[in-house]
Amino acid sequence: MKAYIYLENGTFIEAKSFGAEDTVVGEIVFNTSMSGYQEIMSDPSYAGQFVTFTMPEIGNVGVNEQDMESSKAHAKGMLVRKYQARYSSFRAEESLESFLIKHNIMGICDIDTRFLTKMIRKEGAMMMVASTTISDRNELKNILENSPRIEDVNYIEQVSTKIIYKHERSTYSNTEFKYDETPITQANIAVIDFGVKRNILNEIVSAGIGVEVIPNSFKAEDLIKSYKSKIIDGVFLSNGPGDPLVLKREQEQIKKLIDAKIPMFGICLGHQLLSISHGYDTFKLKFGHHGGNHPVKNEKTGLVEITAQNHNYNVPNNIIEIADVTHTNLFDNTIEGLKYKDSPIFSVQHHPEASPGPKESQYIFCEFLSLIKR
């Protein structure tokens, strides 16, 4: 089936569809990862976005439940050069096409992804509309112009859990632990779910930390009470989609946690929310960081870690007034990690759970446990 794309810079493209049939509006970004398309599509942080994959062959290993980063796919759609309907992997349970249709996600192929990527690099991330039913350029333009932009939508309300639950799986186990397999729990934390990835929870458990996941509608007073009663030893602020500046209620609650001197660790959106809650607003990058090959320098050790990234927003440089920079992105020298000077709080912009290698970043989760113990 044909698919039609209209971007806000006026570009109109005809391609083919291999996913759900629909008309969808979202922000287009590109991802430079060589593998992991299923993890990317099921990462809640991609809610509201179309992902252009620079890897030309997509679909060749199929899809399986074990590699899901959440309960469903969250991206608006994916754009690929060539879709491989015939998959080959002993772990595969279904094709990427059937996965996309099941989750009502658009898949667009036979498109020049190199052209799209270069355009995004030059002009920046932008809004687009894709359709399998509307081929008229002017009609698509009208739909796009009358749709909300990604920064106008609070996607956290869509992706955050609605119930409180415990997570008891680790990175090295596909099922819940038996008693003799469980890591020794040395601390307990509350994970505030803004769109948390399952493997982040797995890594926290693997570090020896007990996890209770709570909705984004949390009340700081409840967490402060639990901390003083020694029910929890700290708070983790998760990754998530969208513009952190729109999350006014969450910012106010985090400010209360900061004032209470509760040990906290944030990743990606959590990293940004900590900056804003300290009074330093984030800014939007031209085309963001999306991929599994971003070199980040650890300012303490001097080592370079190859990291996975997925964000369009960044903390400002003047935050060094209240925090020490622990990690720096070597692509553009933006801040990738912070340790706050007068608070038991630190955060990173990249995803230490994603394991792109070769210099891994999982040690950061153990640093959180060390902070809690101190």
pLDDT recorded at residue 180: 42
**Burial of 219: CB neighbours in 10 Å, binned 0-12, 13-18, 19+:** exposed
Which residues form the domain of 55?
2-152
Q: How far apart are CA 2 and CA 14, in angstroms?
A: 7
CATH of the domain at 25: 3.50.30.20
- Shared domain for 183 and 264, answered yes or no, is yes
Same domain for 169 and 315, yes or no, is yes
| Strands 345-348, 335-340: pairing kind | antiparallel
Query: Who wins on pLDDT, 357 or 285?
Result: 285
Transcribe 171-211 into DSSP letters: TT-SSPPPTTTSPPP-EEEEEE-SS--HHHHHHHHHTTEEE
Q: Which of 109, 203, 268, 290 is catalytic?
A: 268
> Quick one: average pLDDT of 270-293?
97
Is residue 353 flagged as an active site residue?
A: yes
What is the pLDDT confidence band of residue 179, given thresholds at 50, 70 and 90? very low
State residue 357's pLDDT score. 65
Same domain for 83 and 219: no
- Domain check: are 254 and 238 in the same one? yes
Check residues 357 and 38 and name the one with the higher pLDDT.
38
83 & 201 share domain: no
Q: Are residues 289 and 176 in the same domain?
A: yes
* Residue that is last in its domain, among 152, 174, 195: 152
Confidence grade of residue 177 (pLDDT, cut at 50, 70, 90): very low
**pLDDT over threshold 80, residue 220:** yes
- Residues 261, 143 share a domain: no
Question: Of 152, 169, 195, which closes a domain?
Answer: 152
- Residues 4-39 pLDDT 10s: 999 999 999 999 999 999 999 999 999 999 999 999
Mean pLDDT of 140-156: 96
Annotation says 103 is catalytic: no
pLDDT at 331 over 50: yes
Report residue 307 as tokens: 């990291």
Give the rounded distance of the alpha carbon of 139 from its chain centre: 32
Is 366 noted as a catalytic residue in this protein?
no
- CA-based nearest residue to 348, from 296, 271, 291: 271
Question: Which of the following is catalytic: 278, 327, 350, 351?
Answer: 351
The enclosing domain of 215 has a CATH number of 3.40.50.880
Q: Please count the structural domains in the chain.
A: 2
Residue 273 clears pLDDT 90, i.e. is over it: yes
**Domain boundary, last residue among 99, 133, 152:** 152
Q: What percent of the chain has pLDDT over 90?
A: 92
Q: Residues 54, 178: one domain?
A: no
Amino acid at 183: P
114 and 237 co-located in one domain: no
- Asked whether the beta carbons of 291 and 260 are under 8 A apart, the reply is no
